[in-house]
Structure 1
Amino acid sequence: MEKQSSPPKIFDRALLHARLRRALAKGAPDFLLARAADDLLDRLLTVKRAFPRSLDLGAPAEHFSQAIVASGRAAPLRASRLGGAVIADEEVLPFAPASFDLVVSGMALQWVNDLPGVFAQVRRILAPDGLFLACLPGGASLVELRVALAQAEEEITGGASPRVSPFVDVRDMGGLLQRAGFALPVSDIDSFTLRYDSVLGLMADLRAMGAANVLVKRAARPLRRDVLARAAQIYAERFSDPDGRVRASFEIVWISGWAPHESQQKPAKPGSATMRLEDAMKAGRRE
């Protein structure tokens, strides 16, 4: 029998959780999670369903749980390695099939090693016609920082090391949800820009959030001071506004999908149309 290969280890999740715990203990900045929670509330208010059994998966704090309650629904079960009613790893969900009517996840799934596998597990624990709503950083996030660090390290050391974790591409999300068995998959992007006095302020915020690089193949040595100084110079030269402050791009990718149910709208079968496209166009021109 052919042995099934395990997914590659991209992220050092033990290091990740240690950093996140330290960050939370020190009062980590929560502006990204707060923005996402406001967006979640808006999305939930457009869905006319009760969702009596809901799960807040992986979130480092209670922002998403509070959004569910603010939408008029019962408080969810929180499951995370960082706290909640159930201490659980997002990569190994300890729940029975069809346990929940709603699963939400806020800014947590960007660091799992097997995102398609997590999607499949979420699909399994959703009851028929249950909803999955999640958000995670998109590929355009921190593009300026990536450019500045890579250019500075290339100039000074002759080669660039991975210093910023990769993020998801929104174009892949719909296909991954479909492969996991979700119906009606949707993905969209919330793009915005924050400004800092310098790149050092941005990097300080990232460290304070526990969001520093946790790639398994991250650079073996810390960032050299001369490289950091050159990166700050490049950042200021290429990504500053007339007032001298620098820009930092962020992208939050939102995904949603439903556990299949017979009541859901389905696409028409190929060949089932009652009028050809050519005939419809001709009819429109005659009107």
Structure 2
Amino acid sequence: MSATPATQMQIFDRALHARRRARAAAGFENHDFLIRRVADEFADRLAAVTRAFPLALDLGSHRGALALAAAEPGKIAGKIGRVVSADLSPAMLAGGTGLRIAADEERLPFRDGSFDLVASALSLHWVNDLPGALIQIRRALKPDGLFIGAMFGGETLIELRQSLAEAEIECEGGLSPRVSPFADLRDLGALMQRAGFALPVVDTDRVTVRYANLFRLMAELRGMGETNALIERRRAPLKRGTLARAAEIYAEKFGLPDGRIEATFEIVMMTGWAPHESQQKPLKPGSATTKLADALGTSERPAGEQPAGEKTPR
């Protein structure tokens, strides 16, 4: 596989993200509720596919997201054969089982046409070159192989972003990036097509989680390994006063009657197939053999023609 070009714009500090992921590994099971939700969704979607996947790749696996999906009783038992787990953090992999390899999603170390299935749960939003990563995933699939992925979308942590921005402007007279940018649903659909996937489908799952306060939310993000790894981040931590003001703004704008706060996680689900000649193809324009009017039980007439008995309005 080709590596990410040196000229590719770098948004994230991947080495820092790997360290943050490693730091979170030991206690990750206390903060993996979103991974478990995605694994359950993977199981539901794979259950609807009438085929087996002898060799699968769990890309950005954390502690084994695809293994969680495969373990769902009565859903996809027996559908998935061997699983290769790959993660940027060896510490995360240490908590998993089976075949494991430390690997970067931006530089996949696999030959073209290696896997029947590639799954990725909440990791791809940290890659600098998402189009390139998707292309590499598609190449790693065998013809008619399936990719199923989940990543955070544009509405994720919108409350936190607004609260931190307002507090920093108010208290420090400036603004620095504190929360990662996330891809938009429409952009991901286009990227799937650009990467060469057949029959791509993209949809979202919006999850609202309640926390005691902003500080508990930030502790959760640390436990997930999802804290700020932007290259352009301000190196100095937020001042206590600024952070306290952010907590006040958050409570004022997004607080609940019981004193708790809400945080949004938008999970974008993606599925697509490596092209194969057996797959359905869209019809060419003008190739239809049945009129839409016949299907609707109406009569067909040229555009602009008035139905009998109607007058053109003045």
Q: Give me the TM-score of the superposition, normalised by structure 1.
A: 0.93
Partner of residue 104, structure 1: 119
Q: Does 1:244 pair with 2:259?
A: yes
Q: Does 1:36 align with 2:38?
A: yes
Residue 7 of structure 2 is aligned to residue 6 of structure 1:
yes
Q: Answer whether contact 2:36 2:68 (CA < 8 A) is retained.
A: no
Please, which moves more after superposition, 204-213 or 125-134? 204-213
56-65 or 127-136, which deviates more: 56-65
CA distance in 2, matches of 1:19, 1:63: 18
Q: 2:234 is paired with a residue of what secondary structure? A: coil
Please tell me whether the aligned partners of residues 11 and 128 of structure 2 are also in contact (alpha carbons under 8 angstroms).
yes
Compute the displacement of 1:276 (Å).
5.1
Q: Counterpart amino acid of 2:199?
A: L
Give the aligned partner of residue 298 of structure 2: 284
In the aligned structure 1, how far is the partner of 2:25 from the partner of 2:102?
Answer: 16
2:53 matched residue in structure 1: 51
2:56–2:118 Cα contact (<8 Å) kept: yes
- The Cα shift of 1:89 comes to 1.0
- Runs of 4+ in structure 1 off by over 6 angstroms are none
User: How far did 1:5 drift?
Assistant: 6.3
SS in 1 for 2:151: strand
The alignment covers a number of residue pairs equal to 282
Report SS of the residue matched to 2:145: strand
Query: Distance in 2 between the 1:5 and 1:88 partners?
Result: 18
CA distance 1:75–1:5, shift in 2 (3 Å): closer
Whether the 8 Å CA contact 1:68–1:75 is kept in 2: the answer is no
Q: TM-score normalised to the size of structure 2?
A: 0.86
Secondary structure of 2:7 counterpart = coil
| Alignment partner, residue 77 of structure 1 | 84
Flag structure 1 segments of 5+ consecutive residues without an equivalent. Answer: none
Aligned to 2:141, which of 110, 116, 126?
A: 126
- 1:25 paired residue number: 26
| Greater gyration radius | 2
- Deviation (angstroms), 1:94: 1.0
* Structure 2 unaligned spans of 5+: 94-98, 301-314
Counterpart check, 1:234 vs 2:249: yes
CA displacement 1:30-63 (0-9 Å, x = unmatched) = 1111111111111111111111111111121112
- Letter matched to residue 32 of structure 1: L
The alpha carbon displacement at 1:281 in A equals: 7.6
Deviates more, 1:35-44 or 1:5-14: 5-14
Q: CA deviation at 1:79?
A: 1.6
How large is the Cα RMSD of the aligned pairs? 1.7
With over 3 angstroms needed to count, the CA separation of the structure-2 counterparts of 1:6 and 1:148, relative to structure 1, is same
Matched residue of 2:188: which SS? helix
Q: Identity of counterpart residues, as a percentage?
A: 53
